[in-house]
Amino acid sequence: MVVRLGVDVSDVADWAVRLRRTPQVAAVAFTERELAATAADPRALTEVWAVKEAVLKALGTGFDGIGWRGVEVAPPRGGARVVRIAGGRHPPGFPRVLCGAVREVGASVLAAVVAAPGLGHRPPPRLRAALVAVPDGLPRRERQLAHSAAARLAGRRAWEDLCAGVGRTAGRTRWGRTEAGAPVLRTVDGRRVPVALAHGAGLAAAVVALPAARESRAPVRNGPGDSGTGSGKSSLELTIIAHDNLLKEVTGHA
> Do 111 and 205 share a domain, yes or no?
no
pLDDT in tens, 202-241: 899 999 988 665 444 343 333 333 433 344 467 899 999 9
Residue 60 domain-assigned (yes or no): yes
More confident residue, 211 or 139: 139
Pairing of strands 233-242, 109-116: unpaired
How high is the pLDDT of residue 68?
94
What sign does the CA torsion over 138, 143, 147, 149 have?
A: negative
- Among residues 13, 246, 204, 245, which one has the least CA distance to residue 113? 246
| CA end-to-end distance (rounded Å), the chain | 31
Residue 176 domain-assigned (yes or no): yes
> Do 87 and 180 share a domain, yes or no?
no
> Do 194 and 138 share a domain, yes or no?
yes
> Do 15 and 63 share a domain, yes or no?
yes
If one counts the domains in the chain, the total is 2
Question: CA-CA distance, 97 to 89, in Å (whole number)?
Answer: 18
Q: Which domain holds residue 146?
A: 126-211
Rounded to two decimals, the pTM is 0.86
CATH for 42: 3.90.470.20
How high is the pLDDT of residue 90?
75
pLDDT in tens, 161-198: 888 766 655 557 888 888 877 888 888 878 888 899 99
